[in-house]
């Protein structure tokens, strides 16, 4: 199972970058992920032939099972991280997706 968070194009990219760096520190702090570990991927989308894509950044974190994902999402720390994701997303609410890799 994968947790995917898509952030729309921000109103101010420089401010988003600062806020996102602090957001990632919060993720590590609240979930107990060591600072030197990255059990997730982060993709920054670039402009293409049609201009800027609708999303600016994507966070993708795999989980061993649906139950592990549900337990993580229900934790107080992850709830705080989720609230912060909404706070920093100045271009609109982030899109949160749950996916299964084949």
pLDDT in tens, 49-78: 999 999 999 999 999 999 999 999 999 999
pTM, whole model, 2 decimals? 0.94
In 3D space, the residue among 2, 101, 15, 10 whose CA is nearest the CA of residue 59 turns out to be 2
In 3D space, the residue among 98, 87, 92, 97 whose CA is nearest the CA of residue 20 turns out to be 87
**Class for the domain spanning 2-99:** alpha beta
Compute the distance between CA of residue 74 and CA of residue 51 in angstroms, rounded to an integer: 37
């Amino acid at each position: 199972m994968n947790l995917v968070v898509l952030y729309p194009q921000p109103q101010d990219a420089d401010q988003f970058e600062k806020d996102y760096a602090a957001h990632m520190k919060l993720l590590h702090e609240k979930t107990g992920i060591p600072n030197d570990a990255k059990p997730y991927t982060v993709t920054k989308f670039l402009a293409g032939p049609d201009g800027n894509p609708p999303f600016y950044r994507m966070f993708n974190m795999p989980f061993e099972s649906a139950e592990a994902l549900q337990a993580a999402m229900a934790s107080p720390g992850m709830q705080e991280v989720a609230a912060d994701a909404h706070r920093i997303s100045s271009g609109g609410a982030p899109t949160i997706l749950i996916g299964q890799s084949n």
